[in-house]
């Protein structure tokens, strides 16, 4: 893609991001979303996050990669522990990034 | 126009900025990472910043940077962004009833900067009375301003940082997924849906679904969650 195509893609991203943010505030001040939709939307975050997370941890170049030298998978455990404990964004991210950086520097993987 | 809504005084704004400090501390470093990675993925500095200005949704921007870098098509990038950001609909619907008296323009401006983190602050304060508009908008503006600041720093540093791997920056996104999942996990059903969607996503990828594995696994996973909910409700009633 050239920069102009990238910009047009960004405009598309902006539209599909803004509408779900905007429409409920305009349309739902007195009503609420249908119950089935609320239930479905409640499951979307966990579904989409793990649909992106699992391949990032378990695959490499389109192949399954579950081995001792899979740094991303190893670092996931302490990252998960800090996330569970602190329930913050920054704590687990800093932990994971630091561990991966240190492991690459000091471990013979 | 009621008089109570007027006079977004300086003290309202500074109250908002004070409450936004934890958000600012999180957004600057993650915005910086996005700036570095998006530039490495082949976006011009201008496009990197425009995305933070126009889209302003952190995790989806990092995901999009990865997709641009791997040569994904525009439709798949837009659709993935839609799915990743669909959760905002729920956040927006949750705060909407408290903002009945606001005008459409004000709601449009408010919704533009509604993120997981600003929502968390608003959802905590709105039930006991919506704060003055100056405070609410100061929180939102501080969020996006710090995200833009981080992005700009990332673009500037992108020239200096030749390789992100020694710094572990390629792990920011997986770590964010872990942190956000844990925050979203409400019960065992959520855990089951996460496990199912994640496994399905990997399976689809290995079967050659290409860039579509995330969308397919999300839609099927969330729908399975609805069925699970119906099933457990029927059993208990």
Model pLDDT for residues B81-132, shown as the tens digit of each residue: 999 999 899 889 889 989 989 999 999 999 999 998 899 889 889 989 999 9
For residue B124, the model assigns a pLDDT of 87
> pLDDT tens, A41-87?
889 889 999 999 999 999 988 889 998 889 999 999 999 999 999 98
**Domain locations along chain B:** 3-184, 186-237
Tell me which of B158 and B200 has the higher pLDDT. B200
Identify the top-confidence range among A99-108, B24-33, B51-60: B51-60
Rounded Cα–Cα distance for residues B235 and A87 (Å): 32
* pLDDT at B215 exceeding the cut of 80: yes
CB contact under 8 A, B178 and A96: yes
Residues B138-147 have a mean pLDDT of 97
Percentage, residues of chain A above pLDDT 90? 65
A43–B201: do the CB atoms touch at under 8 Å? no
CA atoms of B200 and B222, how far apart (whole Å): 12
Q: Angle CA(B230)–CA(B235)–CA(B237) in degrees, nearest 5? A: 95
State residue B81's pLDDT score.
95
Please say if the pLDDT value at position B136 is more than 60. yes
Provide the mean pLDDT of chain B.
91
Choose from A30, A40, A54 for mutation: most chain B CBs within 10 A: A54
Tell if the CB–CB gap between A101 and B168 is shorter than 8 Å.
Answer: yes
Q: Looking at the predicted structure, is the pLDDT value of residue B30 above 70?
A: yes
Percent of chain B clearing pLDDT 90 (strictly above): 68
Average pLDDT over residues B36-48: 96
**Nearest in space to B36 (alpha carbons), one of B134, B153, B124:** B153
Query: What is the model's pTM?
Result: 0.85
* B39 three-state secondary structure: helix
CB proximity B138 to A under 8 Å: no
Contacts of B168 in chain A (CB under 8 A): 96-102, 104
Residue tagged 């425009």 (tokens): B50
Confidence of residue B163 (pLDDT cuts 50, 70, 90): confident
Average pLDDT over residues A32-37: 83
Percent of chain A with pLDDT over 70: 97
Q: What is the pLDDT of residue B7?
A: 55
In sequence order, what are the residues at sequence separation of 6 or more whose Cβ sits closer than 8 angstroms to the Cβ of residue B186? A42
A89 with B193: Cβ contact below 8 A: no
How far is Cα B193 from Cα B47, in angstroms, rounded to an integer? 35
User: What per-residue string of b and e applies to B26-59 under the rule 16 or more CB within 10 Å gives b?
Assistant: bbbbbbbbbbbbbbbbebbbebbbbbbebbbbbb
Assign residue B168 a region: left if phi > 0, alpha if psi is -120 to 50, beta otherwise?
left
Burial class, B78, CB count within 10 angstroms (exposed 0-12 / middle 13-18 / buried 19+): buried
- Tell me the three-class secondary structure of A31-82, residue by residue: CCCCHHHHHHHHHHHHHHHHHHHHHHHHEECCEECCCCCCHHHHHHHHHHHH
Question: Can you tell me the distance from the alpha carbon of A80 to that of B234, in angstroms, rounded to the nearest whole number?
Answer: 33
Query: Which of A8, A89, A96, A106 has the most B C-beta neighbours within 10 Å, making it the best mutation to test the interface with B?
Result: A89
């Amino acid at each position: 893609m050239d920069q102009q195509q990238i910009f047009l893609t960004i405009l598309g991203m902006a539209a599909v991001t803004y509408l779900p943010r905007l429409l409920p505030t305009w349309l739902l001040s007195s009503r609420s979303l249908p119950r089935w939709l609320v239930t479905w939307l409640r499951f979307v975050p966990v579904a989409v996050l793990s649909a992106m997370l699992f391949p990032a941890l378990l695959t490499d170049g389109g192949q399954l990669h579950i081995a001792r030298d899979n740094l991303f998978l190893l670092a996931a455990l302490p990252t998960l522990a800090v996330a569970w404990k602190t329930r913050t964004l920054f704590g687990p991210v800093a932990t994971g990034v630091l561990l991966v950086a240190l492991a690459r520097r000091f471990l013979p993987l | 126009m009621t008089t109570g809504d007027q006079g977004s005084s300086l003290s309202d704004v500074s109250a908002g900025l004070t409450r936004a400090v934890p958000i600012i501390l999180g957004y600057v470093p993650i915005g910086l990472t996005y700036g570095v990675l998006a530039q490495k993925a082949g976006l011009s500095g201008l496009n990197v910043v425009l995305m933070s200005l126009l889209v302003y949704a952190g995790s989806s921007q990092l995901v999009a940077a990865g997709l641009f870098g791997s040569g994904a098509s525009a439709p798949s990038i837009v659709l993935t962004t839609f799915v990743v950001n669909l959760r905002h609909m729920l956040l927006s619907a949750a705060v909407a009833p408290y903002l009945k008296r606001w005008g459409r323009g004000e709601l449009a401006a408010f919704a533009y900067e509604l993120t997981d983190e600003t929502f968390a602050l608003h959802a905590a304060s709105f039930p006991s009375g919506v704060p003055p508009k100056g405070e609410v908008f100061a929180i939102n503006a501080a969020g996006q301003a710090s995200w833009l600041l981080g992005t700009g720093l990332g673009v500037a540093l992108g020239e200096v940082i030749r390789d992100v791997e020694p710094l572990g920056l390629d792990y920011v996104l997986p770590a964010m997924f872990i942190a956000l999942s844990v925050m979203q996990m409400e019960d065992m059903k959520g855990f089951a849906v996460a496990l199912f969607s994640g496994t399905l996503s990997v399976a689809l990828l290995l079967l050659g679904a290409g860039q579509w594995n995330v969308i397919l696994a999300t839609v099927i996973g969330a729908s399975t969650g609805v069925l699970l909910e119906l099933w457990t409700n029927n059993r208990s009633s």
